[in-house]
A and B are shown apart, each in its own frame.
Chain A
Amino acid sequence: MTEFASGSLTGKNLHLSFGHNHVLRGIDLHVEKGTTASVIGPSGSGKSTLLRVMNRLIEPDQGDILLDGRSVLKDNPDELRQRIGMVFQQFNLFPHKTVAENVTLALRKLRKLPKDQARAEALEQLDLVGLKHKADVRPANLSGGQQQRVAIARALAMKPEVMFFDEATSALDPELVKGVLALMTDLAKGGMTMVVVTHEMGFSRNVSDTVTFMDAGVVVESGPPEQIFTAPATDRLKGFLSDVL
């Protein structure tokens, strides 16, 4: 894999409420440059919301976000999001555009690359995820696993400093999960800074450098995977692990 322009990412004391629903209650999360942090926890614990707050798709009510040690809350949020790639559970490819156009859209309109150069970079990214030969078909003609790999290529093409994965394999048929996880593993090994919200405990345990367990809007436990998975300290984490493992 190629070199990544990775940076570190820190969320400090992040709070968010939707009306009376206090979704995030003071979350701290730190990801060292070039490492992978996985976030696990039951549904509704605020994991996906945390990602959306950290790239300011949703503005936090309180707290700070630091990219490479510098607060980004005052930056233009659109520019911040160019620096953070995001991959979604439902892929969210643009169905009215071809696979290559999905990748070139942001390259052309945001990075202002000329058409041929954007296409060349897109093909390079698609090659990386093994789908260069599908460049000119529409996403609807691809399997779920292929669509998710295109979504990863689309995010990587912007040369992000951090990548977010929001349950990237949860919507996939079981036989397609492996390919996407292998690609994510390659990225992690290649030195990409990643925050991975996942239900794949194997990935969390074997690939990530730190694991954060969230429940009801708070970080209950966090640490290296062997500690979290073999020596959980709290009853909540013990209960969660016995449910999912």
Chain B
Amino acid sequence: MDLLDQLADTFFNWEEMAKVIPSLLSVGLPNTLILAVASGILGSLLGLLLAMMGISRNAGARWVARIYTDIFRGLPAILVILVIGIGLSPIAREITGSRNPYPLGILALTLIAAAYIGEIFRSGIQSVEKGQLEASRALGFSYGSSMRLVVVPQGIRRVLPALVNQFISLLKDSSLVFMLGLAASDREIFRIGNDAMANTGNLSPLVAAGVLYLILTVPLTHFVNFIDNRLRTGRPEKKEPDDAAAPIGKGAQA
């Protein structure tokens, strides 16, 4: 067997790949999505709270947000996952009665994501022209309503590309929960590929796992470009469903 064949067998052994694909899809994929989606949603909510605190007129709130962000942005993700996943596991076991490391894995990923997402939201909200807040307040909206109805929606829109990038990063970082030790049915994509590699001594299962990650992340990357363009050129004119459904009413009004 010459060198090329050997390399091909190491990376692209179709037999080994075929063996691992069913569990990648039926176990790994749903688990990875649970980790990434749950921490993405929670991280966005916590991030929005951090962003609001970061631009608050209350110095105490600004400080808390600042320190939180410095800590969780400054630590390696794997360290946070280990410290929280192991350190809090006795408490988690007490509360949930299960040894499933997912709640803590999601918590750790959420805390990390929130630090980044908070900064993304804050930069977006602060980029909205001062005149928007002023115009809203001049109409009679309170500061809170003005932020909620006028400023924050515009700020978030502007940073959607950066936000999707953060979700991509989160999807990949979800692989790190393998460090917490997962039962067979809890394994996510990376762990399944890794286990199969360890068992067979062949890299192909990991390559298959990698391909599955790419199938998830590459469309997201292109989605970023799409919304980036859409934000720049504006969306094609949109009709509200009830307008489209009631042309007679509309005509009668004119």
Binds B, one of A75-83, A176-184, A202-210: A75-83
> Is there contact, CB below 8 Å, between A106 and B140?
yes
Q: With the chains together, A92 CA to B134 CA distance in Å?
A: 8
Contact status of A110 and B253, CB under 8 A, knowing A88-B131, A92-B131, A136-B237? no
> Is there contact, CB below 8 Å, between B237 and A57?
no
A237: interface (CB < 8 Å): no
Contact status of A57 and B134, CB under 8 A, knowing A95-B154, A138-B234? yes
Binds A, one of B47-55, B145-153, B160-168, B218-226: B145-153
Q: With the chains together, A140 CA to B234 CA distance in Å?
A: 9
Residues of B contacting A110 in the complex (Cβ-Cβ under 8 angstroms): 139-141
Residues of A contacting B134 in the complex (Cβ-Cβ under 8 angstroms): 57, 88, 92
Closest to B243 in A: A136
Q: Which B residues from 125 to 142 make CB contacts under 8 A with A?
A: 129, 131-132, 134-142
Q: With the chains together, A156 CA to B120 CA distance in Å?
A: 36
A105: interface (CB < 8 Å): yes
Closest to A141 in B: B234
Q: What is the distance, in angstroms, from B245's C-beta to the closest C-beta of chain A?
A: 14
> Is there contact, CB below 8 Å, between A90 and B137?
no
Closest to A86 in B: B138
B157: interface (CB < 8 Å): yes
Residues of B contacting A93 in the complex (Cβ-Cβ under 8 angstroms): 135
Contact status of A158 and B139, CB under 8 A, knowing A109-B145, A109-B149? yes
Q: With the chains together, A55 CA to B243 CA distance in Å?
A: 37
Q: What is the distance, in angstroms, from B124's C-beta to the closest C-beta of chain A?
A: 12
Closest to B151 in A: A94
Among A78, A86, A120, the one with the most B-chain Cβ atoms within 10 Å of its Cβ is A78
Can you name 19 extra interface pairs (CB under 8 A) apart from A79-B140, A81-B137, A88-B134? A78-B140, A78-B141, A78-B142, A81-B138, A81-B139, A92-B129, A93-B135, A94-B132, A94-B135, A94-B136, A95-B154, A96-B154, A105-B139, A109-B149, A110-B139, A136-B237, A138-B234, A155-B139, A158-B139
A-B pairs with beta carbons under 8 Å apart, 18 shown: A57-B134, A57-B138, A78-B141, A79-B140, A82-B139, A86-B138, A92-B129, A92-B135, A94-B132, A94-B150, A95-B154, A96-B154, A96-B157, A106-B140, A109-B149, A110-B141, A155-B139, A158-B139
